[in-house]
Amino acid sequence: MKKYKILVLSNLDGSTQKILKSAVSLAKMINGEIEVFSVTKLTEIIDRDSQLSAMRTINTKHTATGKKMKNLITPIIKDYGINIKYSFIFGNVKNEIKNFIEERQPDIIVLGKRKSSPFRLIGDSITQYVFKTFKGAIMIAGDKNTLEPNQEISLGMLNNLEPLVNLKFAGDLLAHTKSSLKSFKIVKKLGASEEMTKPANKKTVEYVFEHNDSSIKNLSNYLTKNNINLLYLSKMKKQADNFMVSDIKSLVNNLNVTLLVTSE
């Protein structure tokens, strides 16, 4: 059985444990292994100090960061009986993340979001950077209605013509989905003719919205009503009658749900 590599990128803030719980939940469903990686800009540690002073500052920060990571991750390991590797580095954030991804070759990258600035996680526009450069699955862990380890999920799909069409571990997610699978579509005009291929042994309930300025708000309301805590989106090409929500930033900003996004 394939072991999926899950990489959690974190700035070690207060949301880290929530993000880790979502990652653990995913790992337990799909037979995954987790590694946490954090990068701190050197400019956040040292300024125009002398070389000796700078080295002392770096050493102090190195010790403090290692301790902080251990304190954040060890309780999760103990609570859920899962091994989690972790490491950190000081340097150029985007370069270090790029190098780490190339070295580890993860199948899934997990990120968190902030209410005030969800696209500034471990440096400027890191989420956008990951979306542009990483071709695997990306999970944006929500800060509300989060995934809980060892519990079934409430799974929804957004604008997918076929259930979980591009997801290698689709069967594992469906096996851990409670009740019916929910399909949410945003179309150019209501009444557009579309066919939906339903997954085996799972009833699919479909909600269709016409695209307008309130589309995302309406979607958010229906996700809440249906207690959806994981929404899957495949970045497929636009279909003739199917409006594809391509603005990931808008989804992250306005949906209180964990997003799972795959490439085309």
Domain chopping of the chain, boundaries: 4-140, 155-259
Residue 233 contacts residue 260 (beta carbons within 8 Å): yes
Give the amino acid at 180: S
Q: Quick check: do 4-140 and 155-259 share a fold?
A: yes
φ/ψ region of 250 (left if φ > 0, alpha if ψ in -120 to 50, else beta) reads alpha
Query: Which residue shows structure tokens 């292994």?
Result: 33
Q: Which residues contact residue 156 at a Cβ distance below 8 angstroms, ignoring those fewer than 6 apart?
A: 181, 182, 183, 184, 223, 226, 228, 230, 231, 232, 257
pTM: 0.86
- Token code pair at residue 180: 């019916």
Report the chain's C-alpha Rg in angstroms. 20
**What would the pLDDT profile of 20-61 be if each residue is shown by its tens digit?**
999 999 999 999 999 999 999 887 776 655 666 778 888 889
Supply the pLDDT for residue 215.
85
pLDDT of residue 49: 59
Mean pLDDT, consecutive 10-residue stretches, the chain (264 aa), reads 92 90 96 96 70 80 94 96 96 94 96 60 68 91 86 88 70 86 82 47 75 86 91 66 58 86 76
What's 230's DSSP letter?
A: E
Q: Burial of 134 by CB count in 10 Å (0-12 exposed, 13-18 middle, 19+ buried)?
A: middle
**Which one of 3.40.50.1820, 3.40.190.10, 3.40.50.620, 3.40.50.300 gives the CATH number of domain 4-140?**
3.40.50.620
Are 143 and 13 spatial neighbours (Cβ–Cβ below 8 Å)? no
The CATH topology of domain 155-259 is Rossmann fold (3.40.50)
pLDDT of residue 68: 95
